[in-house]
Amino acid sequence: MMKRKEFHELIPIKRAEQILKSIIRSSTEVVPIDLAYHRILADDVVAAIDVPRFDRADMDGYAVRAADTYTAREEDPVSLEIVDRIPAGAVSSLTISSGEAAEIGTGAMLPPGTDAVVMVEYTEQNGSSVSVQRAVHSWENVMRAGTDIRHGTKVLLRGTLLGSREIGVLAAVGISHVRVRSLTVGIISTGNELAPINEKLQPGQVYDVNAYTLCAAVHDCGATPVMYGIISDDPEKIAKALEKSISECDLILTSGSTSAGSGDIIPHILEEQGEVLAHGINIKPGKPMIIAKIGKPVIGLPGFPTSALSTFYYLIAPRIRDLLGCETTADSQRAVLGSHIQSAGRHQLLPVALVRGVAYPVYKSSGAITALASADGFIEILPEIEIMEAGESVEVTLFGERTTYDFVFAGMVCDEVISLTKMLPFRVRTIAMGAAAAIDAVQNGTADVASIPCMSKLPDDLSIVQRFQYGDTEYGFVVLRDRIDSEMIRTFLSISNSSRICEP
């Protein structure tokens, strides 16, 4: 049996950030522009050509010498002889003389001798001649060569996040491949209890969640994830997986087997093969995190999904974004607390649900999978803070993109309630919370309906609109009295009346 591995002294957050900054490094690679979307430029891009490369028509019409049109009026048009027709992509072999014109399409090269285009709306063709009814000045309705992009101009700067517009610029100047910043992240899940999501669970097993949440989170930072699958708690197999990932990636993330239990073998392997720089971070969740180096940085994240994801977004994601030079930072949003919080007494990342500008703590174990679905992000609580009151302003670090909701349901959430909300014809968010917090949420407009025990005393501005039995307790749906006749509440009541939940 492997000896229990005790934690080293817990290091502070700032020290962990310094270590990560010193060991994680990015690289570069050249990719074709059709694979460059959402990548970060490693070099400035300089145009090797003018754009456009020639004087071109901005409108359908007639290429002319502007001086020939100066006397043109609607009541007294100027007649010019049509000597050529030039569609886009064609090149005229003629030089247009005074008194002549060439029919031209949008984007076509202006023929020699011309310096303007008369819009077709101000002309009338008469056989082989055209009547011009409006004067144009030199270079009117013409884009001159190089006026969009001039040869030698820096069109994109290194550090630019390549979106659809930037890739269009690359194509416009004839660049087919670009050098981009690159950070490849290997992801290894460890544990005998883990099973692939496409296999049937055996007794004692759970599906591997972390591989997929971390893969998505790495993508979110602009890096490239490489998944190495599930490795059982076998030192030799884990060592081989680490060796392979280290040879192929810039950074390796493992999850599970990092705490101080006798079955947690990652700390032993990392010490044998390299250098453990930190084992144990003064933060909740995430205390068992390991930072090591075996030629490449290896970071051992906790096994619980919410702990692993929160720790990644708080400590690792900022470093990846910084290395890749991404112009955007981690998404965050100001909000107010929806309920009272008692601190855990140390640095804490508390998962929260964010609804209509209010952050509600998700009071679930970090091992609860539903905590991932319930939480939109987390708030940071410093160790010196003992209590945070409802209404305090907080900064919420988001777990990627958020969905906006039309209808919010708060309070007791059971399977029957979830089934009911799925029947509603709008986007619904459910937040599990106690009766007092649910009542507050309805009163302040954060929630539309609350589900609470009927024994709870209600403020005068609230009303129970329906009752239902769940277990041994009678519950009621509570709404603001002045919102009972609103369209959404009427829809909710209509559907709940027709569902089983409110049957006698």
Residue pLDDT, tens place only, 226-260: 999 999 888 899 999 999 999 999 999 999 765 54
Among 220, 216, 214, 223, smallest CA distance to 182 is for 223
Q: Which secondary structure element, helix H or strand E, spans residue 474, and what is its range?
A: strand 473-480
**How high is the mean pLDDT of the chain?**
86
Among 52, 51, 53, 48, smallest CA distance to 152 is for 48
Residues in the chain: 504
Quote helix, strand, coil % in the chain, to nearest 5. Answer: 25, 35, 45
Of all residues in the chain, the percent with pLDDT exceeding 70 is: 91
> Other CB atoms closer than 10 Å to residue 89's CB: what's the count?
9
Handedness of CA 172, 176, 179, 180 (dihedral sign): positive
Residue 405 has a pLDDT of 78
Please report how the helices 317-324 and 13-23 are oriented relative to each other, as an axis angle in degrees rounded to 10.
Answer: 40
Q: Are 254 and 244 in contact (CB under 8 A)?
A: no
Mean pLDDT for the stretch of residues 363-384: 68
Residue 416 has a pLDDT of 81
Strand 100-104's sheet: what is its strand order? 116-119, 61-64, 100-104, 78-86, 129-132, 123-126
DSSP characters for 90-107? ------PPTTEEEEE-TT
> Other CB atoms closer than 10 Å to residue 268's CB: what's the count?
16
> Other CB atoms closer than 10 Å to residue 415's CB: what's the count?
9
Mean pLDDT for the stretch of residues 75-102: 95
Quick: pLDDT tens for 91-150: 999 999 999 999 999 999 999 999 999 999 999 999 999 999 999 999 999 999 988 888
Domains of the chain with bracketed CATH: 13-26+187-324 (3.40.980.10), 29-50+150-181 (3.90.105.10), 56-143 (2.170.190.11), 331-402 (2.40.340.10), 404-504 (3.40.190.10)
Range with the lowest mean pLDDT among 186-200, 250-264, 372-386? 250-264
How many Å apart are CA 199 and CA 196, to the nearest integer? 6
Among 301, 308, 137, 291, smallest CA distance to 213 is for 308
Q: Are 273 and 263 in contact (CB under 8 A)?
A: no
Residue 257's region, left for phi above 0, alpha for psi from -120 to 50, else beta, is: left
Q: Are 86 and 108 in contact (CB under 8 A)?
A: yes
**Structure tokens given for 51:** 């754009």
Residue 92 has a pLDDT of 92
Residue 1 has a pLDDT of 42
pLDDT at 354 over 60: yes
Residue 344 has a pLDDT of 65
Instruction: Tell me if residue 72 falls in helix, strand or coil.
Output: coil
How many Å apart are CA 257 and CA 252, to the nearest integer? 15
**Structure tokens given for 436:** 């007092």
Phi, psi of 86 (to 5 degrees): -125, 100
- Per the listing, tokens 């603001």 go with 480
Q: What is the DSSP letter of 363?
A: -
Among 236, 275, 233, smallest CA distance to 256 is for 233
In Å, how far from its chain's centre is CA 80?
Answer: 58
How many Å apart are CA 150 and CA 225, to the nearest integer? 38
Of residues 260 and 223, more confidence is placed in: 223
**Structure tokens given for 44:** 């400035």
**Structure tokens given for 336:** 């107010």
Quick: pLDDT tens for 407-425: 888 888 887 888 888 888 8
Quick: pLDDT tens for 310-325: 889 889 998 998 888 7
What lies within 8 Å, CB to CB, of 503 at 6+ separation is none
How many Å apart are CA 266 and CA 275, to the nearest integer? 12
Among 504, 502, 501, 503, smallest CA distance to 416 is for 501
pLDDT at 362 over 90: no
Mean pLDDT for the stretch of residues 36-52: 89
pLDDT at 201 over 70: yes
Residue 4: pLDDT band with limits 50, 70, 90: very low
